[in-house]
A and B are shown apart, each in its own frame.
Chain A
């Protein structure tokens, strides 16, 4: 019996991990799972203590590169709740547009990664090429492709010009047809179906027991979208569907995310139409003395939760609970009894921020042997 230690990483922030999965195998089946985290732990919560709100926002948005705006938005929701601050309509709509654009970018990134994981590099290249269009929009509106830093308390740093509104709609139009083709390919292609169908099934009961959130939960029959349950920004005024399906395997999780991309496009189109002509207010430095509040948003991976306690104008305690941290525990349950070859696909299908099995470490009692992913696949015929 070997002890395999498979590093899954690098991972996204906010909760910080590439993690190490120690799998005990019997033959080809996984018997037990032990998780080790902490490979990207930087001490962000310690870093946020002692800073004022404006300084802390800069750090908060850099916790994650994939859901950067989600972090900003959750942080701001917490502070605006603390200050009981009202926000004008245009600011809300622009924030919604950027938030949904980030959801599209994150789902396309993940879908490309998933295809790469099962060896289908063609779709990986195509999906990431489409994603470049969205990153161009970010660069045009916010100035940076990855860390947008655009939200401010009560306002935004930049406004959207009419020509940029046109750019947004053009980008979505050009992506729509192609994404439908890719989705069809995923549904019909034999290789993809064989690797994904029936793999990594999560029943609704397990999902509820382990507190599963986000698209993974929606693929197992739980409707838990924070945008609908606890709306923020303009979500209460917009017509959109929360897609919930019941099968709960890796294929359904993939297709659900592709469909969510289409829903996001619908939300963005409605927002652009609803944009009023008044300008956004100028932002200023935040002036807050005491307060304690929580805020949550629906990040691309699930519910992102922030807790802030402010005393004497400085942050005394900041708690960031990212969606991955909340659901990663379920791996201990669903990896039991599966074949070793399916493990990378199942972990990747949960979208734990960024799951890429870079290296596999095989530990045989006292001897360690590093293998590349390709060698591992060859040896264990995945």
Chain B
């Protein structure tokens, strides 16, 4: 019975894209690389090219100028891709939901599979969300 977590058979590449937030979530996502949280022990690698990435992390409050770029990055990723929305701005707009330049939550434009709420979420929560996303990539 395959019960163990064997979702690290393939080293997953993650692309981290900030659409324009306050940078709080960006800091916490980058903090996952540091020795205390160390996301790389799961084999996760953060890359900046969408072409080979499996997981797309979207953080920040989507504004109108950034929507086109986001869709372009999403379309450039190879199939079996998973999108993770990190932070309350990406999920609902957070404190900026009523601002005139807000272009809607991320799942209005691209399909999102994992939501990590928080303002900003702790690095442990982000790693937890990332592992859930990796499990989805693994499932054929």
Which of these, A12, A109, A370, A374, contacts B22 with CB under 8 Å? A12
Contact B95 A58 (CB under 8 A): yes
Chain B facing A: main interface SS:
loop
* CB-defined contacts of B94 to chain A, threshold 8 Å: 62
Does A185 sit at the interface, judged by CB under 8 A? no
A59 at the binding interface (Cβ < 8 Å): yes
Q: Which of A41-49, A80-88, A90-98 contacts B (4 or more CB under 8 A)?
A: A41-49
Known interface pairs A38-B65, A147-B120; A47-B99 also in contact (CB < 8 Å): yes
Known: A42-B61, A43-B101, A125-B34. A359 touches B48 (CB 8 A): yes
Whether B80 sits at the interface, judged by CB under 8 Å, is no
Q: CB within 8 Å of A: which of B18-39? A: 18-28, 30-31, 33-36
Which residues of A sit under 8 angstroms from B18, Cβ to Cβ? 9-10, 18
Cβ B36 vs Cβ A42 within 8 A: no
With known contacts A62-B22, A125-B35, A373-B48, A39–B101 Cβ distance under 8 A: no
B119 touches A62 (CB 8 A): yes
Given A18-B18, A125-B35, A66-B95 contact (CB < 8 Å): no
Q: Does B8 contact A (CB under 8 A)?
A: no
Tell me if A241 counts as interface (CB < 8 A to partner B). Answer: no
B26/A42 in contact, CB under 8 A: no
Whether, in the assembled complex, A372 has its beta carbon less than 8 Å from a beta carbon of chain B, the answer is yes
For residue B16, which residue of chain A has the nearest CB? Answer: A358
Instruction: Knowing A42-B61, A42-B63 are in contact, say whether A10-B20 is a contact too (CB < 8 A).
Output: yes
Number of A-B residue pairs with CB-CB distance less than 8 Å in the complex they form: 116
| Per-residue A-contact encoding for B46-80, CB less than 8 Å = 1, 0 else | 01110000000000110101100000000010000
In the assembled complex, which residues on chain B have CB atoms less than 8 Å from the CB atom of A68? 24
Contacts of A372 in B (CB 8 A): 47-49
Closest to A44 in B: B99
* Interface size in chain A (residues, C-beta < 8 A): 42
Closest to A59 in B: B95
Contact A39 B66 (CB under 8 A): yes
Q: What CA separation (Å) do A38 and B63 show in the bound complex? A: 9
**B7 adjacent to chain A (CB < 8 Å):** no
B135 contacts the other chain (Cβ, under 8 Å)? no
Q: Which residues of B contact A129 (CB under 8 A)?
A: 34-36
**Would A65 and B36 count as touching, CB distance under 8 A?**
no
- A1-17 CB mask vs B (1 if < 8 Å, else 0) is 00000000111110010
Which of chain A's residues have a CB closer than 8 A to the CB of B101? 41-43
CA distance in complex: A211, B27 (Å): 29
User: Which residues of chain A from 35 to 79 have a CB within 8 Å of any chain B CB?
Assistant: 38-44, 46-47, 58-59, 62-66, 68
Query: Quick check: B119 and A18 within 8 Å, CB to CB?
Result: no
Distance (whole angstroms) from the CB of A130 to the closest CB of chain B: 10
A232 at interface (Cβ–Cβ under 8 A)? no
Q: Is B122 an interface residue (CB 8 A)?
A: yes
With A38-B65, A42-B61, A43-B100 already in contact, the answer to whether A146 and B20 are too (CB < 8 A) is no
- Top 3 nearest A-B pairs by Cβ distance? A65-B24, A40-B20, A10-B18
Residues in chain A within 8 A of chain B (CB atoms)? 9-13, 16, 18, 38-44, 46-47, 58-59, 62-66, 68, 109, 125, 128-129, 132, 144-147, 353-354, 358-359, 370, 372-375
8 contacts between A and B (CB under 8 A): A13-B22, A13-B23, A40-B63, A65-B24, A65-B27, A128-B30, A370-B76, A372-B47
